[in-house]
Amino acid sequence: MTQYRVRDPDAIGVAVIGCGRIGLVHAANVASIPNVRVVVAADLDPAAAESGRAVTKAERATTDPLAAIADREVEAILLATPTDSHAPLIRAALRSAKAVFTEKPLASDLRATRQLVREWRNTGVPLQVGFMRRFDPGYVAAKRLIEAGELGRIEQFRAYSRDAQMPSLEFLHRSGGAFVDMSVHDFDLARFLVGDVIEVFAWGSVLYDDRLNDLPDVDTAIVALRFANGALGVVEMARHSRWGYDIRTEIAGVEGKVIVEASNKTPITLSRQGRSELDHFAGFEDRFADAYKAELNAFVEALAQGAVPAPGPDDALETMRVALAARDSWHRGRPVRVARLG
Amino acid sequence: MTQYRVRDPDAIGVAVIGCGRIGLVHAANVASIPNVRVVVAADLDPAAAESGRAVTKAERATTDPLAAIADREVEAILLATPTDSHAPLIRAALRSAKAVFTEKPLASDLRATRQLVREWRNTGVPLQVGFMRRFDPGYVAAKRLIEAGELGRIEQFRAYSRDAQMPSLEFLHRSGGAFVDMSVHDFDLARFLVGDVIEVFAWGSVLYDDRLNDLPDVDTAIVALRFANGALGVVEMARHSRWGYDIRTEIAGVEGKVIVEASNKTPITLSRQGRSELDHFAGFEDRFADAYKAELNAFVEALAQGAVPAPGPDDALETMRVALAARDSWHRGRPVRVARLG
Amino acid sequence: MTQYRVRDPDAIGVAVIGCGRIGLVHAANVASIPNVRVVVAADLDPAAAESGRAVTKAERATTDPLAAIADREVEAILLATPTDSHAPLIRAALRSAKAVFTEKPLASDLRATRQLVREWRNTGVPLQVGFMRRFDPGYVAAKRLIEAGELGRIEQFRAYSRDAQMPSLEFLHRSGGAFVDMSVHDFDLARFLVGDVIEVFAWGSVLYDDRLNDLPDVDTAIVALRFANGALGVVEMARHSRWGYDIRTEIAGVEGKVIVEASNKTPITLSRQGRSELDHFAGFEDRFADAYKAELNAFVEALAQGAVPAPGPDDALETMRVALAARDSWHRGRPVRVARLG
Amino acid sequence: MTQYRVRDPDAIGVAVIGCGRIGLVHAANVASIPNVRVVVAADLDPAAAESGRAVTKAERATTDPLAAIADREVEAILLATPTDSHAPLIRAALRSAKAVFTEKPLASDLRATRQLVREWRNTGVPLQVGFMRRFDPGYVAAKRLIEAGELGRIEQFRAYSRDAQMPSLEFLHRSGGAFVDMSVHDFDLARFLVGDVIEVFAWGSVLYDDRLNDLPDVDTAIVALRFANGALGVVEMARHSRWGYDIRTEIAGVEGKVIVEASNKTPITLSRQGRSELDHFAGFEDRFADAYKAELNAFVEALAQGAVPAPGPDDALETMRVALAARDSWHRGRPVRVARLG
């Protein structure tokens, strides 16, 4: 594997590609890293590209992502475009030997994902996937405790996720469905914190929006997980939440248990009329604001030090296999082995 | 149905039968109810019977449970003997037209339970089963919120139970296994709070004590629940917990979510060396101390007012069907319809 | 000092005197203690006396407190009458060598209190005062941690008390005022947990009910405390609280800090509309329900074992001195030494 | 008053002066604001100046603060030098009509502060003082609730502050003492959230480090506050804390109460051996990380929009008067009116 190397670790040239909502969050974060110099912001929409330029104080804006990738001053790509374009743009970056940080997923189906991972392997080009939860201080601490043996042998994994608001039907139609689009973050945490998942069983229901029956998709689901190490797990999801973004994860072992949960967004408790009230996070942008920064810091630091950034393509591929097995189990109404999907 | 009627609602004669650990808890609770007069305490072990008498200030102690049931002054039986003896003693009480409060289960298998429920029906004799969690202030409040529509349509039920310490192998051998012995409390809550369960899927593992493989039984389990109203649920259990008795239950709906959890036993937070510490309940006796009192208060109040106490034999029967379906699913490795067990 | 001795430690004869709101709470609690036999319930109001009898299943009811004290079968008095009658009834009990558990205060002013304590000393008759907070599991744990040295040298004491509802003006008129009637519980905790208070400074305001200006009294107050061991403290109070009964206490030392606080009455969290809600205790009856039981258990156990119950008359006297010094500081507008009051 | 005006609201030229610990925090924060261009970083220490330049990607570094202030491209100064130099550097900035964001205090004594405020008044030059807590989401929410009348008439203010570690004796010697150096943040919150303080009473003790007696200074203190609107308050402090940085503030009114408290730094709970553990913030840098950003955002936004930034010199002056009155009360042992200090 050729060693990818940045020219000046103190001034790494970056192109921001995709300046929509999450793209601008990434753009501001990467621009605030001292050893990053944002060279160009790209978006098919000129106004979005200009917003990206302004936020990053980049030198240039462009509506041509491939030009941004090809730019000689650019050494790393920050990719936050729609899912469909991930694979071709990553492929272009790999050819130009530009490091990539990409929002998940790598590609929209398993076949395309495997193909891309195969192309990436042995290129030596750093490629990090945006499973930002791994960088949340809560999950970082959980990982450290588990690795230090503080919980003993792991017995249970338990994840609960409710998004604040259901996405548009148009988005859902292209999303791959609840198991692939939403629970994939919990499957990644399951693998990150406990290990390989070998079998899943899933049930889903449409309880909130009947139109999902036509896709078909579900708005409420349970996935039981069996891990290679014998531990059992469960991932629950719902597409909407009146009380706010609700992401909680537990890992229990013989010796101890850790709960990752951010229950009160503002450090305030309001008491009145017999009750005390706490507030909630509104969505992933505020709940994981620090994680979004931390994942980019880690990516840039890996580039500066010549290290391999993580989570990488293999993690993305394995997590997608779990998600697809869950979707398959929902379809078939019986347990599905993850390995079978091959 | 004949109306059961106590002679004097202000002085109901009670026999306490079974004066072991939980029996003495019940005995003290029932004795502190103003309109109860404990007539006799019975246990095969004379020392235990005498402890029961002392705790209740009862007039008599006896080693003959049937004599206690037959006692003319006795109008209601509080039954806390080993599981095997539940059915015959309840049957004796029914014949003597004595009201019964019994620890769960009614009987040790489905066939015996159905037979007993059939015998009980139409007797008009009050019979309450000790699902004490229904009387915990948290579950009472949850039930009230759900019935008032505060949560909207129910989407998710989520239960987590870890006992502090694994029972003896001898106990486990006769217990019916983890699904029947331990998760039955969560299945009862599922029915109480959400409604009928129509299908289950269960996985179990032996992660803590290999000797369970020989029973066979499990120490860690997940059960997915599908409710008649479309809601999905999950019941998780483990037989032991280093951090204390850990019972948590959530119900989420379109409009809101309620979590029933008692996280800090003592109203104290100790801070030192960079951390703050909360403590845990040690077991069901302290976590549900008030619930044990409240269920007996409700039983006695129903007797005094000529009302039908709840939860009754039908609840016990239906909950057992869910538990047995879960055990069956674990054996077969596929989803099992609750109705099929008939 | 003569040794007071009960005839039968397994059946101590008790008279309940004063069957009002808190009296009935005490009555039910004492009646549920196995080695107590409630002989008689007394109240000037015949209906109240009968309620006391019913709750305790006592043999007799009477409207003559002195007769109840004189009753040959009575060995201990539980006193919950209005404040004015405490001293004369305690005096009668001392003369009859009957042990006394009395609600605070011993007497309505310092002179009468000192006189009563002088009369009590050397009688050998057990006399316990109802500072129930000392028996709350939170304060018990705090005391144990402090005595075990877990907090190191104590630096700060911090108490906050808000009653749910302001008492009637009629009650307040006879109450001795906010410092004596309400903050006395916090002053007792200060002495219990940290030690002697040597100087106080107090400010009070009327912010909620202008009619207090005429008594004169305050509805809001701060008291700074200087302890003999150098620690500093503060006691804050307000007479009313829209959000519920609010009692919190902290003790901080060189090594650690303990907060005693019961923040959620029901083990439930309700989430909706962007918020999660916890509930509050309604008043001292529910917040300190267990403490009311525990203080009587401790009293009865001391009688049964021939031990000296605590807190006793000296604690009541010393705490009153702190309370009166605070009231005096409020009048004078400057710090007041506790010792000066003599 | 002349209107201060920046040349280009989208690219405001900033000089960072003082690149020590807190200076570098400010430097990174200001550099990440899109419409800021850091022109120069200055520090007497060349290495520190270079660190400031690197963190901000500034064009220049210098060891001459006055040159940085005079720089033609510089329109605003970010001042984080030692306290002694605040007044002369602010004075220089005022003369050059450069806006100033300065760490508190404006000057080291009341006389110098009043002189500086007098010189500033009518210059029209924006001058904001670094009371960052006003920008913490918790205090922002508390302020909004109070102003919206949600708490009703304010009755109580309650602040508790413990720094994690006691500063060096050398620092303490020049700090002005506990009341001025540390409690000043709580006095500012008192004024911000409740209003003018008219009288204070203070006690202090040396309980942790005897060497403070020689300064003289205290490591533990209580300050009672009387507000112009009748509310009462208390500010407590200690110089060290074994369990972490501990800042809590409460405001209670007739209708409700708000507690500002950040109790768990990492969104994680670790349970083991009968206990659950939460962690604490280490110091002001992590507890108020977002507030440090927000105060600079507000400053820059005020400059861009031609608005007057707050809190300003008058707030700094009034807060210092409260702090000095508290120190005076400690010296004299009696209440001190804030107004008397002139």
**Full pLDDT tens readout for chain D, 342 residues:** 558 999 999 999 999 999 999 999 999 999 989 899 999 999 999 999 999 999 998 999 999 999 999 999 999 999 999 999 999 999 999 999 999 999 999 998 899 999 999 999 999 999 999 999 999 999 999 999 999 999 999 999 999 999 999 999 999 998 889 999 999 999 999 999 999 999 999 999 999 999 999 999 999 999 999 999 999 999 999 999 999 999 999 999 999 999 999 988 999 999 999 999 999 999 999 999 999 999 999 999 999 999 999 999 999 999 999 999 999 999 999 999 997 544
> What DSSP string describes C119-165?
HHTTS---EEE--GGGGSHHHHHHHHHHHTTTT-SEEEEEEEEE-SS
Q: Do the Cβ atoms of B275 and D277 come within 8 Å? A: yes
Q: Rounded to whole angstroms, how far apart are CA atoms A31 and A84? A: 26
User: Is D268 an 8 Å CB contact of chain B?
Assistant: no
Over range C244-262, report the average pLDDT: 97
User: Is D279 an 8 Å CB contact of chain B?
Assistant: yes
Q: Rounded to whole angstroms, how far apart are CA atoms C192 and C210? A: 34
Which of D141, D268, D271 is nearest residue A260 as measured by Cβ atoms?
Answer: D268
Q: Rounded to whole angstroms, how far apart are CA atoms B225 and B217? A: 20
Q: Which of B242, B277, B286 to mutate to test the interface with D (most CBs of D within 10 A)?
A: B277
Residue D73 CB contacts under 8 Å (≥ 6 apart), including other chains: D13, D39, D40
A281, B277, D36, D137, D292 from D297: Cα distances, Å? 22, 37, 10, 14, 9
- State the number of CA atoms in the 13 A half-sphere of D239 facing the CB: 24
Q: Rounded to whole angstroms, how far apart are CA atoms C158 and A240? A: 43
Q: Do the Cβ atoms of A271 and D262 come within 8 Å? A: no
Which of A205, A222, A252 is nearest residue B234 as measured by Cβ atoms?
Answer: A222
From C240's Cα to the closest Cα of chain A, the distance in A is 12
Tell me if B131 sits within 8 A of B315, measured CB to CB. Answer: yes
Return the structure tokens found at D263: 């109790």
Give the residue on A whose Cα is nearest the Cα of B158.
A236
A225, C29, C205, C237, D309 from D299: Cα distances, Å? 51, 62, 38, 39, 6
Give the residue on B whose Cα is nearest the Cα of A204.
B232
ipTM for the predicted complex comes to: 0.94
User: Is D244 an 8 Å CB contact of chain C?
Assistant: no
Which of C243, C275, C282 is nearest residue A278 as measured by Cβ atoms?
Answer: C275
- Kindly report the length of chain D: 342
User: Is A210 an 8 Å CB contact of chain C?
Assistant: no
User: Is D257 an 8 Å CB contact of chain C?
Assistant: yes
Tell me if D45 sits within 8 A of D25, measured CB to CB. Answer: no
Go through D93-132 and write b for each residue having 16 or more CB atoms within 10 A of its CB, e for each that does not: bbebebbbbbbbbbbbebeebbebbeebeeeebbbbbbbb
From A296's Cα to the closest Cα of chain B, the distance in A is 29
Which of D155, D203, D242 is nearest residue C255 as measured by Cβ atoms?
Answer: D242
> What DSSP string describes A31-100?
HTSTTEEEEEEE-SSHHHHHHHHHHHT-SEEES-HHHHHH-TT--EEEE-S-GGGHHHHHHHHHHTT-EE
What SS3 class is residue A21?
helix
Q: Do the Cβ atoms of D270 and A150 come within 8 Å? A: yes
> What DSSP string describes B23-90?
HHHHHHHHHTSTTEEEEEEE-SSHHHHHHHHHHHT-SEEES-HHHHHH-TT--EEEE-S-GGGHHHHH
Q: Do the Cβ atoms of D270 and A256 come within 8 Å? A: yes
Q: Rounded to whole angstroms, how far apart are CA atoms C28 and C18? A: 13
- What phi and psi, each to the nearest 5 degrees, are found at residue B217? -155, 175
Q: Do the Cβ atoms of D277 and B277 come within 8 Å? A: yes
Stretch 90-119 of chain C: residues touching chain A, C-beta under 8 Å: none
From C84's Cα to the closest Cα of chain A, the distance in A is 33
From A63's Cα to the closest Cα of chain D, the distance in A is 21
Q: Which range among B294-298, C264-268, C298-302 shows the weakest confidence by mean pLDDT?
A: C264-268
From A334's Cα to the closest Cα of chain B, the distance in A is 6
Give the residue on C whose Cα is nearest the Cα of B275.
C256
Q: Do the Cβ atoms of C153 and D226 come within 8 Å? A: no
Q: Rounded to whole angstroms, how far apart are CA atoms A131 and A103? A: 8
- Tell me what the pLDDT averaged over chain A comes to: 95
A-chain residues near B204 (CB < 8 A)? 232
D-chain residues near B277 (CB < 8 A)? 275-278
Q: How many pairs of residues across A and D have Cβ atoms under 8 Å apart?
A: 90
For the cut 80, the answer to whether the pLDDT of residue C342 exceeds it is no
User: Is B209 an 8 Å CB contact of chain A?
Assistant: no
Is beta strand A220-227 parallel, antiparallel or unpaired with respect to A232-238?
antiparallel
Stretch 61-90 of chain D: residues touching chain A, C-beta under 8 Å: none
List beta partners, residue A261: A248
A-chain residues near C276 (CB < 8 A)? 243, 263-264, 277-280
Look-up: residue for tokens 């951010």? Answer: A262
Q: Which of D201, D225, D249, D277 to mutate to test the interface with C (most CBs of C within 10 A)?
A: D201
Which segments in chain B show pLDDT lower than 70? 1-2, 340-342
pLDDT category, A34, cuts 50, 70, 90?
confident
Which of C57, C138, C272 is nearest residue B266 as measured by Cβ atoms?
Answer: C138
Residue D89 CB contacts under 8 Å (≥ 6 apart), including other chains: D17, D65, D66, D69, D77, D79, D81
C-chain residues near D151 (CB < 8 A)? none
Q: Rounded to whole angstroms, how far apart are CA atoms D167 and D173? A: 10
User: Is D280 an 8 Å CB contact of chain B?
Assistant: yes
Q: Do the Cβ atoms of A155 and B220 come within 8 Å? A: yes
> The whole model's pTM is what?
0.95
Residue C94 CB contacts under 8 Å (≥ 6 apart), including other chains: C100, C119, C120, C123, C125, C127
C-chain residues near D335 (CB < 8 A)? 201, 333-334
Question: Interface partners of A (3+ CB pairs, < 8 Å)?
Answer: B, C, D
A51, A53, A116, B8 from A14: Cα distances, Å? 16, 12, 22, 86
From B255's Cα to the closest Cα of chain C, the distance in A is 6
Tell me if A253 sits within 8 A of A154, measured CB to CB. Answer: yes
Give the residue on D whose Cα is nearest the Cα of C237.
D156
Q: Which of D264, D271, D279, D287 to mutate to test the interface with B (most CBs of B within 10 A)?
A: D271
A255, C83, C86, C251, D313 from C103: Cα distances, Å? 46, 8, 8, 26, 55
B-chain residues near D263 (CB < 8 A)? 276
Q: Do the Cβ atoms of B272 and C262 come within 8 Å? A: no
Return the structure tokens found at D169: 């004796």
- pLDDT of amino acid A341: 47
Q: Do the Cβ atoms of C224 and D222 come within 8 Å? A: yes
User: Is A145 an 8 Å CB contact of chain D?
Assistant: yes
Q: Rounded to whole angstroms, how far apart are CA atoms D59 and D39? A: 5
